[in-house]
Structure 1
Amino acid sequence: MFSKVVISLALAASVLANVFITSPVATTTFTGGQQATITWQDDGLTPNLTTFGAALVGIYTGNANQQTLLQTVSASVDVSTTTSIVFTPDATIGPNSNEYFVRFTSLNLKDATNSQFPAEAFSAKFTMTSMTGTFNSTVQAEINGQSTAPIGATATSSASGTMKTVATTSGSVSVSASGTKTSTSASSTATKTGAAGKVGVTGITCFVGAAASLLGAVLL
């Protein structure tokens, strides 16, 4: 293995959103060793996908302030010209759990509220099955940290909601499971108090990238 619940925070997060991740959502289950697809679209807000540009896409776990990259899905994908990535989840990155989420990290755009951090977008937490790995003590401590820095609940999330659909250039990227691990390890976690700290959580298990769905669906 290597690599808040009030309206005001959700609204603040939605203003900074850009990559709206339509899969995985809270009801999604990825199976270790079997092909899975990550999809996204522009949420119609500023900055747009062209501005977000090339991004590192990975599977993470953790809390709103500390997150660990478990698997690199793509080291660099232009989110403005591609709308999906087909990849194979590495079964060894952790156990069967619903504590996984996808994070997009812009390689060029900085966070609008804290320029020392890159712009980011998050999926809802989702489930991984047929997994053979474990979370080490550092990663488990991050997951336990959700009690004070929550990143999601267990309720169902919908990727559709009433969010505005924006046409994007079609395309896809296929990534194999081999060679997906990076130098970011579970024992060396990515601790953030800026960009990651802005991750909003709603009653329907949404991150920044899904805040528009929250506002259109339930306005918690």
Structure 2
Amino acid sequence: MFKSLIVSFALAASVLANVYITSPTADTTWTGGQEATIDWQDDGSSPSLASFGLAKFSIYVGNANQQTSLQLISGNVSVANVSSLTFTPSPTIGPDSNEYFIRVESLNLKDASNSQYPALAFSAKFTLAGMSGTFNSSLQAEIDGQSTAPIGGPTSSAGSATAATTAKATTVAAVTTGSAAASTATSTSKSNGAGRHGVTSLAGFVGAAAVLVSAAVL
């Protein structure tokens, strides 16, 4: 059984969390039930990966105002000590879709503009295939909400945050499956649509918008 907590709050524009996810990208397709690897690197902006510290990785869907966690990948990863995370996407969390993204929430670092919220980072939206689940009406409504609250904005490149709005996030399922794997981050100049924003950023990247989620798994 899972317990969900919905949190609503006003968001103001802010930029830059420094965990830059290089995989998955917008061109990535992972298969449910088969191992996948998330890779990241320091984007060169302040704060350092050491400051971002321990982090929680999850798979999400949603829009700029509402996002839902579908799978907890790992709840305690040191982004400074490792630069990749291998896990198995659960095929039951949803259907074949290109609406999934990775959200990274710092357990140590607070948002630079609002210290009551954690710093966040996001991947590009990516595809999961070989899936056996479905999106219920609430999840589909969040995804459809991109028509008025697009999580990627008008382009496929990372950009600036939007103005203040009200956001709501929900966790409906969490499956802990991941284990951290050490590797060396490599630099890249090619944009993959990953988000590099703090908790109060909403859009301007293909990956996702930033919101706060608190949830406990019973």
* CA shift in 2, pair 1:135/1:207, >3 Å: closer
Matches for 1:158-173 after TM superposition, within 5 Å: none
Runs of 4+ in 1 over 6 A off after TM superposition: 153-158
1:207: how far off? 5.1
- 1:201 pairs, out of 204, 212, 216, with 204
1:145: how far off? 1.3
1:208: how far off? 7.6
User: Match for residue 127 of structure 1?
Assistant: 127
| Contact 2:59–2:72 (CA under 8 A) maintained in structure 1 | yes
* CA shift in 2, pair 1:140/1:196, >3 Å: farther
**How far apart are the structure 1 equivalents of 2:147 and 2:40?**
29
1:197: how far off? 5.0
**How far apart are the structure 2 equivalents of 1:208 and 1:184?**
15
**How far apart are the structure 1 equivalents of 2:149 and 2:200?**
8
User: Match for residue 117 of structure 1?
Assistant: 117
| Contact 1:59–1:101 (CA under 8 A) maintained in structure 2 | yes
**How far apart are the structure 1 equivalents of 2:207 and 2:142?**
18
| Contact 2:61–2:101 (CA under 8 A) maintained in structure 1 | yes
* CA shift in 2, pair 1:65/1:156, >3 Å: closer
Q: What is the alpha-carbon root mean square deviation over aligned residues?
A: 2.6
TM-score, structure 2 as length reference: 0.68
1:152: how far off? 2.1
User: Match for residue 51 of structure 1?
Assistant: 51
SS at match of 1:16: coil
| Contact 1:95–1:132 (CA under 8 A) maintained in structure 2 | yes
User: Match for residue 138 of structure 1?
Assistant: 138
Structure 2 gap ranges (5+): 5-12, 159-169, 174-197, 211-218
CA deviation vs aligned residue, 1:3-24 (integer Å, no higher than 9, x gap)? 8xxxxxxxx76x4130000000
CA deviation vs aligned residue, 1:22-61 (integer Å, no higher than 9, x gap)? 0000000010000000000000101111000000001100
Matches for 1:18-33 after TM superposition, within 5 Å: 18-33=18-33
User: Match for residue 35 of structure 2?
Assistant: 35
**How far apart are the structure 1 equivalents of 2:65 and 2:115?**
16
**How far apart are the structure 1 equivalents of 2:74 and 2:118?**
16
1:156: how far off? 6.7
**How far apart are the structure 1 equivalents of 2:154 and 2:121?**
19
Aligned length: 165
SS at match of 1:142: helix
Structure 1 gap ranges (5+): 4-11, 159-182, 187-194, 210-220
1:117: how far off? 1.6
State the percentage of identical aligned residues.
61
Greater strand share, structure number: 2
**How far apart are the structure 1 equivalents of 2:153 and 2:87?**
26
